[in-house]
Structures are given as C-alpha cells and as structure tokens.
Amino acid sequence: MTAVLAVAREQPSPLRIVILGLTITSSWGNGHAVTFRGLVRELAALGHDVLFLERDQPWYAANRDLPEPPYGRTRVYRSVRELRTRFSAAVRRADLVVVGSYVPEGIAVGEWVIATATGATAFYDIDTPVTLARLGRGDADYVSPALIRRYSMYLSFTGGPTLARIERFHGAAHAWPLYCSCDASVYHPEPAAPRRWDLGFLGTYSGDRQPVLDELLLEPARHAAARSFAVAGSQFPESIAWPRNVRRISHLAPDRHRRFYASQRFTLNVTRPDMVRAGWSPSVRLFEAAACGVPIVSDAWEGLGSVFDIGREILVARRAADVLAILEDLTERERAAIGRRARARVLAEHTAAHRAAELEAYARAVLGRPTPVPEGTAEHAASPLGREAGP
C-alpha cells in the first residue's frame, strides 16, 4: 500500500457522503444494518452530510425495525433506473460515494457510481472472504474485477494479509481496513441483570458455522446438564436436536441484545470458515459482547490477538473440553476481570466513532486533503496517515 503523508493546516470542511448499502432500516437476518447505523450516526455527528440509499426489498420492507433512521438522510429506491433518475445529482456532488457489498445489482450500481461521481469512490466489503471466494469462482454479482480496479479504495471488514492480496491480485488502488464496530451508548454492562445462562450464543444460522457451534456449545451442554445455555438467532432448521438445557430464542431484536449478553456468565463467538481462513475478521457481535463487559469464549483464528489480548481480554476454545474447563475453573473474580479488560479495549479502539474517523481520514487522503490522526490511537494504526505499507 502507498503511504499518504500530509498534514491539514486548517479546520477541514464537512464532507458530502452518499452510501449505497444493503440495508440500514432492517436488522433482520443481516449484520449490515447495525454497521451502517453506527457509521452514519457518527459521520453525521462529525458534521458530515450523509445520504443513505437502500434498495426496497420485500424481506427487509416487511421487517423494518428502524424505518426512518434519526441521523443523516435515508431514501429507498425500487430499481437501478429510479436510482439514476432520483440521485444522480447527489452522487455527482458528493465528496465520497460508498457502495456496500451485497447491494442488489451491485455491479450496475457500481458502474453508474464510478461514471457519475466526481469525488472519491469506495467499495465497502462487509463480507470480504465471501466476496473473494465468489470472485475466484466467477459468480460475484455485486462487484467485479473491473470495478475493483476503478474504485478509489476498497474498504474491508477483513484486515491483515488479505488487504495486500486485494491490491496485488485484484488491482485495487488502495485496500484499507474498516472493521465493524459497536455502539458504546447502547452496549454497556448491566450489573443488576440476573445471570440466567452459563454460556450463550447470538447469531443467524449458518450451515458452515454449525459444526463449531455444536462442538463449543451443544456438546458442553450435553456434558453439563446442571448448567444452562442459550442460542438466539433466526433461520436455525427444525432438524437440530437441542439439549434440554439449551434455551432457543428464534429472533432477538437489536434493542434486546444487551440484556441477552448481560444475562450470560460467558458468551460464545463462532466465526464462519471463510473468515477463519482469511483471519483478521472480527465480527460485530464480538465487539458488542465485549462492550457489555461479558467475557467472550471464541474459536481460534489468525489475527484475533491483534483485536483482543488472548487470555486477558478474551478466551479461546478449540473443543468442548476447553469450554467445560472455562465454565468450571475460572473464579468469578477472574471472569469479571476479563470482561472489564475487553470492554476497555473496545472503548479505546472499536466504536462506531472510531470507524467514522477512519473513513473520513481515508476519504480525505484520496481527495488530497487529509487530516492528521493522533498518534497512539487505533485510527492512527489503521489509517493510511499513520502507517507505512502493509504486508
């Protein structure tokens, strides 16, 4: 990656930003809405003019838990033709236009954005390992190799060596990390909440993730009948044989996540295989749980130690016996200390405000009017203003 070295001499003017994402109005069955909500809110708090454009789709239209976000402006469109007709002027005037992964007809949308925009453009990949696998198979329908080379930057939920791969093998001008984050005003400890479960998991069903969930939660539940467990999330098939001491919650709206975490002694993080292979792919749930001060038991993947200090801020399990040992052996004092340290790490590095500042720095760097990022901060470490070329 090319380092960008510049210093702003005066207070920068606000940016006009247009984001085309999968959804911001519905959190049902996806992780995109939570990410975009935090990002748009914090960009608006910084004084930027943010317009979010969402394709009207039946699944999300029927399950909108935030139909009119109270930050920035959100507009819904029904087709690429309508998008072009209504929003060409906004895209043309914008300092930055961001197109997210899984946007319907994303290739057509991206081609229109690049042809229309006069400022910086970015592809924001919330599903980086999946996208790269689909590009390899030739069946990606929301981004193409040609588009990657034409976007001003490729922003990725996955960091580490994958960023160099995106630049070297896919021709991205700049590949920079823009991890998920958490809303610290929403996710915080609830000391008075009763501990109902020894271990819980929150996430939508995924067939390729289920074997690890079986090993790290269902198998421990079978061997610890006196302990209680919980799994919350949609789309789990009826064929799964849940142990009697596992509470099933079919869907948990975002406003109930904090209480769910607070009701656990430990919470489980399970990563999809594509993310494990890529490494450096922390999930939204990982940061949310940590912000609540709940100790996390996670599967192992490369780069986890760059996000949390393993053993001090997060615990790693590879098999059911590891989980059972954690539940049995850790004292309450040790358990609480791990949760406190993880929360402190999130507040220092992984809030939506951090991501908004990083995105602003990236945009200004591409536009040739960067702002300095304070040394010693997470933004400085991740920003093109604060480090030399990556691996």
Which residues are registered as beta bridge partners of 367?
none
Domain extent at residue 320 = 197-349
Distance CA 135, CA 78 (A): 26
Place 205 in a pLDDT band, splitting at 50, 70 and 90.
very high
Task: Tell me the CB-side half-sphere exposure of residue 114, using CA atoms within 13 A.
Answer: 18
72 and 214 share one domain: no
> 234: left (phi > 0), else alpha (psi -120 to 50), else beta?
beta
Q: pLDDT tens digits for 257-291?
A: 999 999 999 999 999 998 999 999 999 899 999 99
Q: pLDDT tens digits for 351-361?
A: 999 999 999 99
Percent of the chain with pLDDT over 70: 91
Higher confidence at residue 34 or residue 354? Answer: 354
Q: pLDDT tens digits for 112-168?
A: 999 999 999 999 999 999 999 999 999 999 999 999 999 999 999 999 999 999 999
342 and 364 share one domain: no
Q: What is the DSSP string of 310-354?
A: BTTTBEE-SSHHHHHHHHHH--HHHHHHHHHHHHHHHHHH-BHHH
Q: What is the pLDDT of residue 31?
A: 83
Overall domain count for the chain: 2
Distance CA 19, CA 122 (A): 9
Q: Is the pLDDT of residue 221 over 70?
A: yes
The whole-angstrom distance between residue 49's C-alpha and the CA centroid of its chain comes to: 22
Residue 4 lies in a domain: no
Q: Is the pLDDT of residue 54 over 50?
A: yes
312 and 357 share one domain: no
25 and 174 share one domain: yes
CATH number of 304's domain: 3.40.50.2000
99 and 204 share one domain: no
Q: What is the pLDDT of residue 375?
A: 44
Place 29 in a pLDDT band, splitting at 50, 70 and 90.
confident
CA angle 231–202–331, rounded 5-degree value: 80
Q: Specify the pTM.
A: 0.84
118 and 264 share one domain: no
Distance CA 60, CA 77 (A): 13
202 and 127 share one domain: no
Residue among 165, 163, 145 at smallest CA distance from 155:
163
Residue 2 lies in a domain: no
210 and 324 share one domain: yes
Residue among 332, 306, 362, 64 at smallest CA distance from 371:
362
Q: What is the pLDDT of residue 382?
A: 47
Is residue 206 within 8 A of residue 30, CB to CB? The reply is: no
64 and 127 share one domain: yes
Is residue 380 within 8 A of residue 358, CB to CB? The reply is: no
Q: What is the pLDDT of residue 370?
A: 58
Is residue 314 within 8 A of residue 338, CB to CB? The reply is: yes
